[in-house]
């Protein structure tokens, strides 16, 4: 079994051509950027990676490209979730065969598991499709509508999912997060998934975090982690507020679409978002740049080279 995940783990954008077709060419540069900025892993084909908007074949091609391109020390975690359990199992098998380092899955979000037991049963089969890889349940109620407590999931899954490594926790319920860190004597790795409140996750024991803004602002988050670890909470809070500030700018300009535009602004064009999301116009991109410049974003943005 692979080592537990820790540190910053970016959720990379899937690159597309201008016409919306898949473009694998930028992936080696994306991988190098993450490694250069001290990021420890790439969580691919998830929310930021627009995994739900990719075909099955495209998802597999993205996995193969990332595994081939990863620098030494950069883990590749594959989101394998799907409304079809059979498809999720197939993606998990493929991830293991390709050489990924871990798999994760969102809960099914059309026909939803009515109980924690149902969710564990669904996850159990998906995890078993890649028995040699750590499995992380991806808890994101805002997108899935499945809000069974993460701590209850871990208690129910204990002893049933041998390769369960932990949870990617993308939620604001810090009480549930804290409780989850204590299940089975702290056995499970809780990866925090809200970039704008990373400091809170660290305070409750998160050994690592998964987020989209680590693609283009990793140096700022490295400062937050370093300040927290040396007990300098004043600096950590100040830098977390900078994160909140630029995330507010992103939100005003389109969220995920603006995040992809931010990649272009730092010098790594990953193309547009895919429909039904709407890409930023040239005017929108210029407004985003102006908003970033006003708050000093480019002073701590990820460096291409």
Local structure of 105: helix, strand or coil: strand
Tokens standing for residue 211: 């987020």
114-118 LR contacts (CB < 8 Å, sep 24+):
115/148, 116/148, 116/149, 116/152, 116/153, 116/156, 117/156
d(CA 169, CA 91): 21
Active site residue 168: yes
Annotated active-site residue in 136, 138, 188, 228? 138
- The full length of the chain comes to 305
C-alpha angle 20-217-281 in degrees, rounded to nearest 5: 35
Residue 111, phi-psi category: left (phi > 0), alpha (psi -120 to 50), beta (remainder): beta
In sequence order, what DSSP letters do the residues of 60-100 get, joined into one string? Answer: HHHHHHHHHHPPTT-EEEEE---SSHHHHHHHHHHHHHHT-
- How many Å apart are CA 156 and CA 178, to the nearest integer? 17
The single residue of 168, 188, 214, 228 carrying the catalytic annotation is 168
CB atoms within 10 A of CB 98: 16
7 close to 208: Cβ distance less than 8 angstroms:
yes
How many helices (H) and strands (E) are present in the chain, helices listed first?
12, 8
Catalytic site positions: 138, 168
């Amino acid at each position: 079994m692979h080592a537990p995940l820790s540190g910053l783990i970016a959720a990379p954008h899937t690159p597309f051509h201008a016409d919306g077709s898949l473009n694998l060419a930028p992936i080696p540069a994306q991988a190098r950027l993450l490694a250069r900025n001290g990021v420890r892993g790439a969580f691919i084909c998830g929310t930021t990676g627009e995994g739900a908007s990719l075909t099955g074949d495209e998802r597999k091609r993205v996995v193969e490209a990332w595994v081939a391109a990863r620098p030494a020390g950069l883990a590749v975690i594959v989101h394998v979730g799907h409304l079809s359990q059979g498809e999720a199992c197939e993606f998990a098998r493929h991830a293991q065969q390709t050489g990924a380092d871990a798999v994760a899955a969102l809960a099914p979000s059309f026909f939803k598991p009515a109980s924690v037991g149902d969710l564990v049963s669904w996850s159990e089969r998906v995890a078993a499709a890649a028995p040699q890889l750590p499995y992380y349940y991806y808890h994101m109620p805002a997108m899935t509508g499945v809000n069974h407590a993460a701590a209850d999931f871990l208690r129910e899954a204990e002893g049933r999912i041998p390769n369960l490594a932990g949870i990617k926790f993308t939620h604001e319920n810090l009480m549930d997060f804290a409780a989850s860190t204590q299940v089975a004597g702290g056995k499970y790795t809780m990866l925090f998934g809200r970039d704008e409140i990373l400091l809170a996750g660290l305070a409750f024991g998160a050994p690592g975090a998964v987020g989209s803004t680590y693609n283009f602002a990793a140096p700022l988050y490295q400062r937050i982690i370093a300040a927290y670890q040396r007990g300098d909470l004043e600096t950590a809070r100040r830098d977390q507020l900078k994160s909140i500030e630029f995330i507010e700018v992103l939100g005003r300009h389109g969220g995920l679409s603006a995040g992809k535009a931010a990649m272009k602004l730092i010098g790594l064009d990953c193309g547009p978002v895919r429909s039904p999301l709407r890409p930023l116009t040239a005017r929108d991109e210029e407004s985003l740049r102006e908003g970033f410049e006003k708050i000093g974003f480019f002073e701590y943005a990820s460096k291409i080279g």
